[in-house]
Structure 1
């Protein structure tokens, strides 16, 4: 059991180079206190050496991990380990403790870069002496309120964050240092400890400067726990003051002086419990016992964490791979073919849904996104498209008239139907081409998501493969779009009115029912004067003297009515008329009646009057024909476009990728493709060191278990 703390100290030294306190925390004791409570003197008394930097400014600006190891020999020495400003590990062996103070000051300046800010990089001091108990103490910067001198304005925040980082860990024993001449209610250290340890289970209180109060009853009441109870209790100490240092009083003399003070203040007849809670020696024993017990309770949980860290490092080393220096061309070519094969296979696996994603399991990935584009995006958009919303009754009526020529038609002209349906079929072209673009973009994402573990280190190779694959996909996109355009041209080239699903029995029945409903509606209209049923013809303008002449209106290029055509009515004199250009046209014979002037022909002509009953039936029939035939085309396009995209782009890229990559990359400078950046080499070396440290840590944990046995 005596070797538990030294083994844990070695464990901490082994793991401190790359493991943060949040990832893996070993049992330790953190010393917390304000700047003026005598924290430095307390640590020196526990160590038995005067080695800590002192001063009015913030001297401790980094965590100082003090590892005390009881040595059987009379030789005293220490080892100082830290990471410099550039994160390089430095280790110094010191035999002369008199220079340790100066070295600590220099190392602190080196870590912080010469400024007064607070750094999280720890300094580890491993001290071997024959008059100390095995302990591990972490000295944290003293709590302060107001920045002085050239200290940063947020120095208080920096210190609080650093202290919290250590004491919030459940494996940390908090040594809260308070001064006897300050009320415990105002203790900064107890306040911070309470925030992370509200049940007071891992906090030890230390009352310093007991000789500075008028009555010993003040500090006696404090350590009794009546004012502020702690499960691990309080310890009262008297350390060297600044005057003692100036008077050259050594730490040994100070400890004797402390023993004399407590022997005078405590009545041994009825205050034996109180004497056990006083003095540096009792504090050291208490801390040693608590730390050993804490180690015994904590170590069983360290093994799984270290095993997990080892697995992570092994996986990371596998990703970094082995160095590929001094290889010949055939060896490089073999490795290239191997990587291309793995990349091509992973590309196919992602499309086929054979790759498991550890992150973001709440969203579609890979080939599932392509399926979504086809069925939930493209086809759904086609089905939501209503063809008749693209046409107005007026456009249909004009198409029918334009197809009839100067004579009109007894039946609905087929050319009008073809003109209108081709316009609507063309509406399917852009969404179909956009669908191909969206699948192309998804394939690019799949390429970016392809990760070959040990290929990531070769940035040139990865860039070359990605570039060639993107060129391949671009080459596949062009014929895919050509095929989609051809599908549209095929539909436009031949309007198959003989299609079995076009004029089927169900469609003809619907048309017949609509016509009968319209006739029945007209039959129900009664003339108001004659009081007999008649077919009410749709509203239209005609002149009694001119037969059934129709009104027209002129539409200019801005699509607004410019002028209504004017007609001369019976019993009216038409004195003058202004034509389209504004020129006044005078009646040839003002004395003649029933004569009118024909206006200038407008540039664009559309019928102004309402549709006749015949035209209404024709429009309704055209709508039904358009809707029925468009559904046939839509169904075919919705089925053919995804198939074209899969064949010409998705499947073609899958089948030809490996061949294209080998063909385009094997003739280049293979050495450049496999050139590692310097950071990869550094990461590989660090990873190997980390694995070595973790293996050592596992052996040390086995030693601890043997100690317990």
Structure 2
């Protein structure tokens, strides 16, 4: 399950502010972590129930494929289809109850002593620039196409490249095969700023610049990157946030003009940024544990409560229910087409 990085960081920021209230928070609040994690766990419910629905649909289709072989006995086919489908629908309710129980169990207690959980100390280390290189330097945060807007001007126009961003570097390649690397840009001391679209340009642009007034790439003070949609640009900005590349500070008037909701990151104080990054790392670590647990238990739950149970029902109870629910002579009545075919065969031979 993927996170909406921008929305998640906004929720973390609000949770920290709400818990601190009017007080100045010296420490990262663990209640903010619990609040955000519970919201993320609740989002697992919908895809989990959808998974059960997809299995049920596939199971019913399989049953109908099998009962097609009984086409010469339509009453028997209909009765068998009805009995098995009714049983599957009964198991559907029980399976969904169990899936909801699994998620409610995850919501009931945050096991921060789990062996795979990084803990607050490691999360704070990971959020710092020094320790980030030791822990996640080679971790790929995002891949995708972007256009380098300003470098290509002297070479006949802007050009599109395949970008790969890790916690330390931003690299771009000729194409998505990642064989021919064009350049690797360290992310140290970089920040983001928005660039206004040109008169004839339809692309949305943002730029990377060095906070120490150094050239970013060769003789260029900033690297302008463009994408076709604003949504794609916002997604890239959120990925840069994860790598520790923050937006440029903006003035109060510009912040008011654009709206406080979209620029909540710009107004964050450094302490709130650090606490938000710590909570983000904690949420990422804990949700990895939860997702791993749910991915492991979901197929087991569905297999046990639905598929194996339905198979056992067909083997042991289907025949008994067929005998008890209707007149066997009616069930074994042939279809008119089958009776006509049999009479024709008898006349021929």
TM bucket, shorter chain: 0.5 to 0.7
Specify the SS of the correspondent of 2:317. helix
Contact 2:73 2:333 in 1 (8 A): yes
- In structure 1, the residue matched to 2:228 is none
- In structure 2, the residue matched to 1:437 is 53
Q: 1:641 aligns with which of 298, 305, 308?
A: 298
Contact 1:460 1:673 in 2 (8 A): yes
Q: 2:25 aligns with which of 409, 414, 428?
A: 409
Task: Establish whether residue 448 from structure 1 lines up as the match of residue 30 from structure 2.
Answer: no
- In structure 2, the residue matched to 1:473 is 88
**Structure 1 residues 53-112: Cα deviation after superposition (integer angstroms, max 9, x where no partner):** xxxxxxxxxxxxxxxxxxxxxxxxxxxxxxxxxxxxxxxxxxxxxxxxxxxxxxxxxxxx
Q: Partners of 1:482 and 1:392 in 2: how far apart?
A: 28
Q: Partners of 2:10 and 2:99 in 1: how far apart?
A: 32
Task: Establish whether residue 510 from structure 1 lines up as the match of residue 126 from structure 2.
Answer: yes
Q: How does 1:247-262 map to 2 (within 5 A)?
A: none
Q: 2:332 aligns with which of 665, 674, 686?
A: 674
Contact 2:125 2:131 in 1 (8 A): no
- In structure 1, the residue matched to 2:319 is 662
Q: How does 1:303-382 map to 2 (within 5 A)?
A: none
Q: 1:470 to 1:525 in 2, by over 3 A?
A: closer
Query: Where in structure 2 are there 5+ consecutive unaligned residues?
Result: 134-167, 169-187, 191-209, 214-247
Q: 1:630 to 1:514 in 2, by over 3 A?
A: farther
Q: Partners of 1:674 and 1:461 in 2: how far apart?
A: 6
Q: 2:73 aligns with which of 441, 447, 458?
A: 458
TM-score (norm 2): 0.59
Q: Partners of 1:630 and 1:447 in 2: how far apart?
A: 37
Q: How does 1:128-167 map to 2 (within 5 A)?
A: none
Deviation at residue 414 of structure 1 after TM alignment: 0.7
Query: Where in structure 1 are there 5+ consecutive unaligned residues?
Result: 1-384, 528-537, 543-551, 555-559, 565-603, 693-709
Contact 1:396 1:619 in 2 (8 A): yes
Q: How does 1:29-428 map to 2 (within 5 A)?
A: 385-389=1-5, 391-428=7-44
Deviation at residue 400 of structure 1 after TM alignment: 0.5
Contact 1:539 1:609 in 2 (8 A): yes
Q: Partners of 1:501 and 1:408 in 2: how far apart?
A: 31
Q: Partners of 1:675 and 1:610 in 2: how far apart?
A: 78
- In structure 2, the residue matched to 1:487 is 102
Q: Partners of 2:274 and 2:122 in 1: how far apart?
A: 18
- In structure 2, the residue matched to 1:613 is 270
Q: Partners of 1:677 and 1:613 in 2: how far apart?
A: 79
Contact 2:106 2:290 in 1 (8 A): yes
Contact 1:553 1:608 in 2 (8 A): no
Give the number of the structure whose residues are more often helix, by fraction. 2
Deviation at residue 397 of structure 1 after TM alignment: 1.4
The number of aligned residues is 238
Q: 1:622 to 1:514 in 2, by over 3 A?
A: farther
Q: Partners of 1:646 and 1:658 in 2: how far apart?
A: 16
Deviation at residue 456 of structure 1 after TM alignment: 3.2
Specify the SS of the correspondent of 2:114. coil
Task: Establish whether residue 686 from structure 1 lines up as the match of residue 348 from structure 2.
Answer: no
Deviation at residue 611 of structure 1 after TM alignment: 1.1
Task: Establish whether residue 625 from structure 1 lines up as the match of residue 282 from structure 2.
Answer: yes
Task: Establish whether residue 500 from structure 1 lines up as the match of residue 127 from structure 2.
Answer: no
**Structure 1 residues 474-528: Cα deviation after superposition (integer angstroms, max 9, x where no partner):** 011111111111111111111111111112697665344457889x859x9689x
**Structure 1 residues 603-654: Cα deviation after superposition (integer angstroms, max 9, x where no partner):** x9x9796111111111211111111111111111111111111111001101
- In structure 2, the residue matched to 1:377 is none
TM-score (norm 1): 0.30
Deviation at residue 422 of structure 1 after TM alignment: 1.3
Deviation at residue 425 of structure 1 after TM alignment: 1.4
Q: 1:490 to 1:416 in 2, by over 3 A?
A: same
Contact 2:52 2:302 in 1 (8 A): yes
**Structure 1 residues 252-271: Cα deviation after superposition (integer angstroms, max 9, x where no partner):** xxxxxxxxxxxxxxxxxxxx
Q: Partners of 1:502 and 1:516 in 2: how far apart?
A: 17
Q: Partners of 1:409 and 1:515 in 2: how far apart?
A: 23
Which structure ranks higher in relative contact order (CA pairs < 8 Å, sequence separation ≥ 6)? Answer: 2
